[in-house]
Structure 1
């Protein structure tokens, strides 16, 4: 199985509510059998010295484990209900794009698995207790462990209530999305990149590739591009003595049968697109039902933008949440402002091998600010905070083309404010803030 598909499988497992609980249940079963095995092998005479810990008979042990198992499965059902209720509330109040963050929250997965694991543990131990005519056997160590786990579960339940109450606060949701996006930016856009086409030769190489005869490689599945094995594409292009052109970047949607990429040989007749070759090319792309942030930093921006847009909607009208989102967007774009974004061309032996669809700084800025600016009609606080964010970003870069992008956004915000704000006082405030931004850039 190709590496990107294994990675996609792992990401899906990591974002599920059943994978970690299943592992924990398996661990509980192993723990129960291990303690029962120890109880069978050791002498229990020394246990009489600790009657407060090991004094329960077979009926008492059964009753205690039965009570623990019943209470644990009840609490597990309550936790599942609270989790689903939280997911529904977050989806409706903020954005469905952050549901994956809640599902992959390790604390939620561990708490769900913990209570189900205790239930299964108690069932395994219960079936081994014997008394009376059955032949007396009480796995004292295993029973004691069940009691310890039950007592510990009280603290776990209190922690879960606190965690779920904290996790649905708007500031925490935005902060978590920001931290995840910051990690993706650091991983995807390091300060120093590997081999890529020189900027001075980019146009010449693009012109050279444009003269070739392109053949379309159709997609065998539908979905969003979650990952691309660029090293695998480069190796295939080198093997075929051809150039590969991606038709969709990370986060783009591909329909079944639509062009996934195009291929053109540098010499000779057009390539024979056999089923094997098509499968090898398709295998270099990981498609899924939704965007993920692992190779798509723009999706992290999209999550925060959606929260700000929902806050600005007439039904919610929560300017404070929108302002918090803008602050974090400014922080993320400031982190991007001084980083080298990878060029679209991958070369080998002075030839273009892969033409990728790359995100640009202008695209990131447009994703972060365009829709918020459009939906902020008549909101002076949002306009001023957008301008403040631009000032922060501008301080982090000296590249003329990126400064031009920020200047364009400044003009658009000022035009929107002049057009939509109802009072001269509000318009003057926005003008003053825009002038401050321009002075800082100068």
Structure 2
């Protein structure tokens, strides 16, 4: 079931899914409205009669004008979207293109304009003006007018939205929001129950007679693990599974993903059944990959610090948002690598996320790219000082201190101003204490 939900989530995130649904509605709706026109003799009275077509020629003119305008604006909308994608790719990195492609407003606007164009063509074909029959679908034409006014307002909203969506602060804020959401589904917390204590792995392995390598049958990024089904299969077959990778890691064809410990030799069919719980793809996804959004934000900061862009304030905005995320992570319990299945037995030892790993993903690359950029280096040290105040566990403090020391080492070889170095040293001394 969860695997189906994963595929449903991927389907919804495609650029074409929402427009196709809207276009399908645009094809179905005119049949119902034209049927309503044919079964109800509606006679507009008073001022309303000026809003409805009075003759077949008037209806044809209105529908033809709307159809031509809608397909023209649809082309404009598509062009604006492509310009936004080009700007996003060049300034923020090609991996952020899908954030714009999956934007619901962009999809809705494109689908609505194409849908109204098709709607007008279908209704236009029902207008009859012959000696035998005269039919004017006045309700259908009136609906086209109403939708045209709505689409004009939607175009204004779309232009405003695109102008906002390519601003660095808004992009960073959106990624940060996605990151906060993703942290609620940290892998491997979903697999079984967390163990209350650690286990001696050698002792656990020694209880099984056979060891089988679990090798990847596909290449690509590990996107999803069907945790519930995997735990059920491991428990039913009385296995112990060690996993070396987690969602977001790249798997090579034939590479060992882990080891399976069993009481008997496993058949090829049983191995394939276990492998079916691991889904791979060409790109990383955010559904189970908690570091995906971090790497997106780091990419923005790295490009901002490149000599061709030289935008330290965008990098500082990334540091602020990443620091906020790391401050939250100092207050949460990271998932255990030991996962308990049926009968309270250890079934899976997983490659769990750690605070140190998340800190490395967030700040290592930014520190490396900030060489020779004093404002960013100083802001990195300020971020470490803030995180030091949030941290309560000694392990977290040690990780923060390690990053602060690396930042200070970088400053000593890349900052010439004595006062800046003294300021950084004071911040670092506060962290040490």
Query: 2:339 maps to what in 1?
Result: 346
Query: 1:357 maps to what in 2?
Result: 351
Q: Deviation at 1:180? A: 0.5
Query: 1:209 maps to what in 2?
Result: 204
Query: Of the candidates 212, 235, 258, which is equivalent to residue 238 of structure 1?
Result: 235
- SS of residue matched to 2:135: coil
Query: Of the candidates 301, 304, 308, which is equivalent to residue 311 of structure 1?
Result: 304
Query: 1:98 maps to what in 2?
Result: 96
- Structure 1 residues 380 and 433: CA distance shift in structure 2, 3 A: farther
What aligned pairs does 1:413-432 form with structure 2 within 5 A after superposition? 413-432=407-426
Query: Of the candidates 251, 274, 277, which is equivalent to residue 281 of structure 1?
Result: 274
Tell me how far apart the structure 1 counterparts of residues 115 and 19 of structure 2 sit (CA, whole Å): 8
Residue by residue over 1:20-42, the C-alpha shift from the partner in whole angstroms, topping out at 9 and shown as x without a partner, is 01111111222211111110111
Query: 1:257 maps to what in 2?
Result: 254
Tell me how far apart the structure 2 counterparts of residues 383 and 134 of structure 1 sit (CA, whole Å): 83
Residues 333 and 365 of structure 1 are in contact (CA less than 8 Å); yes or no, is this contact kept in structure 2?
A: yes
Q: Deviation at 1:86? A: 1.2
- SS of residue matched to 1:221: coil
Query: 1:121 maps to what in 2?
Result: 119
C-alpha RMSD of the superposition: 2.1
What aligned pairs does 1:127-276 form with structure 2 within 5 A after superposition? 127-133=125-131, 135-188=133-186, 195-199=193-197, 201-202=198-199, 204=200, 206-211=201-206, 213-265=210-262, 267=263, 269=264, 271-275=265-269
Q: Deviation at 1:347? A: 2.1
Residues 188 and 352 of structure 2 are in contact (CA less than 8 Å); yes or no, is this contact kept in structure 1?
A: no
Residues 192 and 340 of structure 1 are in contact (CA less than 8 Å); yes or no, is this contact kept in structure 2?
A: no
Tell me how far apart the structure 1 counterparts of residues 49 and 180 of structure 2 sit (CA, whole Å): 56
Query: 2:12 maps to what in 1?
Result: 14
Count of residue correspondences:
430
Tell me how far apart the structure 2 counterparts of residues 314 and 410 of structure 1 sit (CA, whole Å): 25
TM value normalised by structure 2: 0.94
Q: Deviation at 1:429? A: 2.4
Residues 418 and 427 of structure 1 are in contact (CA less than 8 Å); yes or no, is this contact kept in structure 2?
A: yes
Query: Of the candidates 382, 390, 394, which is equivalent to residue 388 of structure 1?
Result: 382
Query: 1:296 maps to what in 2?
Result: 289
Mean Cα displacement is larger for which, 310-319 or 427-436?
A: 427-436
Tell me how far apart the structure 2 counterparts of residues 380 and 45 of structure 1 sit (CA, whole Å): 75
Tell me how far apart the structure 2 counterparts of residues 272 and 413 of structure 1 sit (CA, whole Å): 50
Tell me how far apart the structure 1 counterparts of residues 83 and 132 of structure 2 sit (CA, whole Å): 47
- Structure 1 residues 12 and 350: CA distance shift in structure 2, 3 A: closer
Residues 193 and 342 of structure 1 are in contact (CA less than 8 Å); yes or no, is this contact kept in structure 2?
A: no
Tell me how far apart the structure 1 counterparts of residues 92 and 42 of structure 2 sit (CA, whole Å): 58
Q: Deviation at 1:193? A: 10
Query: 1:412 maps to what in 2?
Result: 406
TM value normalised by structure 1: 0.92
Q: Deviation at 1:366? A: 0.4
Residues 302 and 367 of structure 1 are in contact (CA less than 8 Å); yes or no, is this contact kept in structure 2?
A: yes
Residues 8 and 286 of structure 1 are in contact (CA less than 8 Å); yes or no, is this contact kept in structure 2?
A: no
- SS of residue matched to 1:224: strand
Tell me how far apart the structure 2 counterparts of residues 116 and 422 of structure 1 sit (CA, whole Å): 59
Unmatched tracts of structure 2, length 5 or more:
none
- Structure 1 residues 187 and 240: CA distance shift in structure 2, 3 A: closer
Q: Deviation at 1:327? A: 0.4
Tell me how far apart the structure 1 counterparts of residues 51 and 171 of structure 2 sit (CA, whole Å): 45
- Structure 1 residues 25 and 17: CA distance shift in structure 2, 3 A: same
